[in-house]
Amino acid sequence: MSYYRAPNGAPILFDNDDQPVRLMWHWEVCPSCEGSGTEDVWGTNGVTSDKWAEWTEGDDDFVTDYLAGHYSKPCAECEGRRVVGMPDEDDPRYDEWVAEMRAEGEWEAEARAEMRYMYGPEY
Ligand SMILES: [Zn+2]
């Protein structure tokens, strides 16, 4: 079993016969970029204030370029869409989807993003 996201963003699960299973789904704000649609070229979302102070010290060009998006690329998770397709929790296959995501380690990353969203950046 495996899963992937269709080009239109819809989550699709493949059953044990590799047949695609369509799920009821909805859009959710992308947990990776938190809806910005971009991540910076270092693969992080945003820069800590310490780093920011260090990098921008006396370098106004860097600040201008950064704010202009020169150091941004489309978010890998949502491909710049700002939202990701997530299966509905009452879909009968929802548990299988979650199991697949967990298997691929994405669940953990998403859970962390959710913790950050709920409890702040310390998580
Ligand atoms: Zn994203």
Q: Which residues contact 61 (CB under 8 A, 6 or more apart)?
A: none
pLDDT over 90, % of the chain = 16
Decide: pTM greater than 0.75.
Answer: no
- DSSP H helix total and E strand total for the chain: 4, 7
pLDDT tier at 63 (50, 70, 90 boundaries)? Answer: confident
Q: Does pLDDT of 3 surpass 80?
A: no
Q: Which of 15-19, 43-47, 70-74, 89-93 has the highest mean pLDDT?
A: 89-93
Q: Measured in angstroms, how far is the CA atom of residue 98 from the centroid of ligand 1?
A: 19
Ligand 1 center from residue 58 Cα (angstroms): 31
**pLDDT: is 35 or 57 the higher one?**
35
State how far Cα 50 lies from the chain centre. Answer: 24
How confident is the model at residue 26, as a pLDDT?
95
Ligand 1 centre to CA of 29 (Å) is: 8
In the reported structure, the alpha carbon of residue 19 is separated from the centroid of ligand 1 by a whole-number distance in angstroms of 27
CA 104 to CA 92: how far, in whole Å? 20
